[in-house]
Amino acid sequence: MTEPLQILFWVVVFPGFLFTLILGLVASWIVRKVSALVQWRVGPPLLQPFYDVIKLMGKEILIPQEAQRTIFTMAPVVSVAGTLLLSMMLWRVSLAGTSFVGDIIVAIYLMVLPSLALILGGSASASPHATVGTSREMKLVMGYELPLLLALIVVIIKSGGQLSLVAIAQNAPVLSISGMLAFLASLMCVQAKLGFVPFDMAEAETELGSGILMEYSGALLAVWKVAQAMMLVALPLFLVTVFLGGFTSSLWAGIGKYVLVLVLIILIKNTNPRVQIHQAMKFFWVHCGIALVVAVILATIGNNYGIGWL
Amino acid sequence: MDNNLLISIFLPLIAGFILLFVPNRARAFCKAVTLIISVVAFVLAINIFKAGDAAHGWPVLQIDGFSLDLLLKVTPLGSFILMFAMGFGVLITIYSLKSTAQVKRAGEFYGAILLTLGGSAGILLSDNLMFLLIFWEVVTVSLYLLIGTGGRGCNFAATKSFAMIGASDAAFLLGVLMVWATAGTLVISEISLATTSAIPIIAFLLLLTAAITKAGAMPLHTWLPTSGEYASASVMALLPAAIDKLLGIYLLILIVRQLFVMQSAALSMVLAVIGAGTIIIAVMIAMVQHNLKKLLSYHAISQVGYMILGIATGTPVGLAGGVFHMLNNAIYKCCLFLCGGAVEEATGTAELEKLGGLGKKMSITFTACFIAALSISGIPPLNGFVSKWMIYQGVIQMGTEQTSGAAKLWSVWLVAAMFGSALTLASFVKVIHSVFLSRLPEELKETKAAPALQRLPMMVLALLCIGFGIFYHWPLKMFIYPALNLEADTVIFGNWESGLATILMIIGIILGSLILAVGFLSKKVRLVPTWTCGEVQENAEMTIPGTHFYKTVSSMSGLKGLYKGQEKGCFDSYDQSGKVGSALTNFLRWLHGGILSIYLSWVIMGLLVILFIVCKIW
Average pLDDT over residues B362-387: 91
Amino acid B522: pLDDT: 82
Query: Exposed, middle or buried, B214 (CB in 10 Å: 0-12/13-18/19+)?
Result: buried
Q: How confident is the model at residue B371 (pLDDT cuts 50, 70, 90)?
A: very high
Domain count, chain B: 1
Average pLDDT over residues A267-275: 88
B380 inside domain: no
State the Cα–Cα distance between residues A92 and A15, nearest whole angstrom: 8
Amino acid B473: pLDDT: 86
* Contact between B522 and A57 using a beta-carbon 8 Å cutoff: yes
State the Cα–Cα distance between residues A138 and B437, nearest whole angstrom: 15
Q: How confident is the model at residue B96 (pLDDT cuts 50, 70, 90)?
A: confident
B134 inside domain: no
Amino acid A79: pLDDT: 93
A310 inside domain: no
Contacts of A146 in chain B (CB under 8 A): 415, 419, 422
**Which candidate in B360, B432, B516 is best for mutational testing of the A interface (most A CBs within 10 A)?**
B516
Specify which of B6-20, B256-270, B322-336, B399-413 reaches the highest per-range mean pLDDT: B322-336
A267 inside domain: yes
Dihedral sign, Cα of residue B304, residue B310, residue B312, residue B316: negative
The pTM assigned to this predicted structure is 0.91
Amino acid B360: pLDDT: 84
**Is B300:B242 a contact under the CB 8 Å cutoff?**
no
**Is A66:B440 a contact under the CB 8 Å cutoff?**
yes
Candidates B16, B102, B84; CA nearest to B333 is B84
State the Cα–Cα distance between residues B602 and B40, nearest whole angstrom: 65
Cβ contacts of B429 within 8 Å, gap of 6 or more? A116, A119, A120, A123, A134, A138, B546, B549
* Residue A54 or A99, more confident: A54
Cβ contacts of B1 within 8 Å, gap of 6 or more? B51, B54
Of A123, A132, A296, the CB nearest to B411: A296
CA–CA min distance B428, chain A (Å): 11
DSSP A307: -
Q: How confident is the model at residue B2 (pLDDT cuts 50, 70, 90)?
A: low
State the Cα–Cα distance between residues A190 and A172, nearest whole angstrom: 18
CA–CA min distance B421, chain A (Å): 10
* Contact between A102 and B496 using a beta-carbon 8 Å cutoff: yes
Contacts of B529 in chain A (CB under 8 A): 64-66
Q: Which domain holds residue A125?
A: 3-305
Report the DSSP beta bridge partners of residue B68: B61
Is pLDDT at B102 greater than 60 in this prediction? no
B595 inside domain: yes
**Is B267:B198 a contact under the CB 8 Å cutoff?**
no
Is pLDDT at A294 greater than 90 in this prediction? yes
> In whole angstroms, how far apart are CA B418 and each of A152, B28, B321, B425?
11, 47, 14, 11
Candidates A66, A69, A67, A110; CA nearest to A87 is A110
Contacts of A17 in chain B (CB under 8 A): 508, 511
B100 inside domain: no
Is pLDDT at B67 greater than 80 in this prediction? no
* Residue A310 or A244, more confident: A244
Domain count, chain A: 1
Q: pLDDT digits over B306-331, tens only?
A: 999 998 888 888 889 999 999 999 99
* Contact between A62 and B528 using a beta-carbon 8 Å cutoff: yes
Of B380, B495, B542, the CB nearest to A128: B542
**Which candidate in B410, B472, B525, B541 is best for mutational testing of the A interface (most A CBs within 10 A)?**
B525
State the Cα–Cα distance between residues B421 and B444, nearest whole angstrom: 32
Q: What is the DSSP string of B434-485?
A: IIISS---GGGTT--PPPHHHHHHHHHHHHHHHHHHHTTHHHIIIIIHHHHT
Amino acid B101: pLDDT: 59
Give the nearest chain A residue to B378 (CA atoms). Answer: A109
> In whole angstroms, how far apart are CA B583 and each of A272, B573, B587, B594?
58, 15, 6, 19
B588 inside domain: yes
Contacts of A120 in chain B (CB under 8 A): 429, 432, 437
Is pLDDT at B240 greater than 80 in this prediction? yes
State the Cα–Cα distance between residues B385 and B376, nearest whole angstrom: 8
> In whole angstroms, how far apart are CA A158 and each of A198, A268, B247?
30, 27, 40
B593 inside domain: yes
State the Cα–Cα distance between residues A48 and A50, nearest whole angstrom: 5
State the Cα–Cα distance between residues B236 and B552, nearest whole angstrom: 30
Of B396, B512, B529, the CB nearest to A81: B512
Of B513, B523, B530, the CB nearest to A64: B530
Amino acid B374: pLDDT: 93
Amino acid A265: pLDDT: 92
Cβ contacts of A182 within 8 Å, gap of 6 or more? A150, A151, A154, A155, A173, A243, A292, A295
* Contact between A68 and B526 using a beta-carbon 8 Å cutoff: no
**Which candidate in B511, B520, B550, B556 is best for mutational testing of the A interface (most A CBs within 10 A)?**
B511
Specify which of A230-239, B29-38, B176-185 reaches the highest per-range mean pLDDT: A230-239
Is pLDDT at A252 greater than 90 in this prediction? no
Is pLDDT at B539 greater than 80 in this prediction? no
Amino acid A97: pLDDT: 78
State the Cα–Cα distance between residues B92 and B35, nearest whole angstrom: 10
Amino acid A293: pLDDT: 93
Q: How confident is the model at residue A27 (pLDDT cuts 50, 70, 90)?
A: very high
Contacts of A127 in chain B (CB under 8 A): 530-532, 542
Average pLDDT over residues B179-199: 82
Instruction: Decide: helix, strand or coil at residue B54.
Output: strand
Contacts of A167 in chain B (CB under 8 A): none
Is pLDDT at A303 greater than 80 in this prediction? yes
B600 inside domain: yes
Amino acid A59: pLDDT: 86
Average pLDDT over residues B40-57: 85
Average pLDDT over residues B428-435: 91
State the Cα–Cα distance between residues B425 and B375, nearest whole angstrom: 9
- CB atoms < 10 A from the CB of B143, how many? 28
Q: Which domain holds residue B582?
A: 577-617
Contacts of B525 in chain A (CB under 8 A): 60-63
**Is A60:B523 a contact under the CB 8 Å cutoff?**
yes
Q: pLDDT digits over A100-153, tens only?
A: 888 888 999 999 999 999 999 998 888 888 888 888 999 999 999 999 999 999
Mean pLDDT over each residue of chain B, to the nearest integer: 86
Is pLDDT at A254 greater than 90 in this prediction? no
A171 inside domain: yes
Contacts of B405 in chain A (CB under 8 A): none
Amino acid B477: pLDDT: 86
Q: pLDDT digits over B274-303, tens only?
A: 999 999 988 988 888 888 888 999 999 999
Average pLDDT over residues B401-418: 85
Give the nearest chain B residue to A74 (CA atoms). Answer: B513
Average pLDDT over residues B411-436: 91
State the Cα–Cα distance between residues B417 and B423, nearest whole angstrom: 10
* Contact between A102 and B505 using a beta-carbon 8 Å cutoff: no
Is pLDDT at B489 greater than 80 in this prediction? no
Amino acid A12: pLDDT: 85
Instruction: Decide: helix, strand or coil at residue B527.
Output: strand
**Is A184:A244 a contact under the CB 8 Å cutoff?**
no
* Contact between A68 and B359 using a beta-carbon 8 Å cutoff: yes
State the Cα–Cα distance between residues A103 and B390, nearest whole angstrom: 12
State the Cα–Cα distance between residues B215 and B243, nearest whole angstrom: 9
Average pLDDT over residues A244-263: 86
Q: How confident is the model at residue B405 (pLDDT cuts 50, 70, 90)?
A: confident
- Cis status of the peptide bond prior to B219, with omega within 30 of 0: yes
Is pLDDT at B104 greater than 80 in this prediction? no
Amino acid B68: pLDDT: 78
* Contact between B419 and A141 using a beta-carbon 8 Å cutoff: no
DSSP B243: I
What percent of chain B is modeled with pLDDT above 90?
19
Candidates A211, A63, A58, A33; CA nearest to A137 is A211
Is pLDDT at B65 greater than 80 in this prediction? no
Of A60, A142, A214, the CB nearest to B524: A60
* Contact between B515 and A278 using a beta-carbon 8 Å cutoff: no
* Residue A232 or B543, more confident: A232
Lowest-confidence pick of B159-173, B217-231, B602-616: B217-231
* Contact between B389 and A106 using a beta-carbon 8 Å cutoff: yes
Amino acid B103: pLDDT: 62
State the Cα–Cα distance between residues A16 and A32, nearest whole angstrom: 24
DSSP A93: I
Lowest-confidence pick of A119-133, B93-107, B141-155, B230-244: B93-107
Q: pLDDT digits over A30-74, tens only?
A: 999 998 988 899 999 999 999 999 998 888 888 988 888 889 999
The interface pTM score, or ipTM, of the predicted complex is 0.93
Dihedral sign, Cα of residue B564, residue B570, residue B575, residue B581: positive
Amino acid B1: pLDDT: 52
Contacts of A129 in chain B (CB under 8 A): 531, 533
**Which candidate in B497, B552, B555 is best for mutational testing of the A interface (most A CBs within 10 A)?**
B552
Candidates B145, B148, B119, B154; CA nearest to B20 is B145
A140 inside domain: yes
Contacts of B492 in chain A (CB under 8 A): none
B42 inside domain: no
Is pLDDT at B597 greater than 60 in this prediction? yes
Report the DSSP beta bridge partners of residue B55: B73
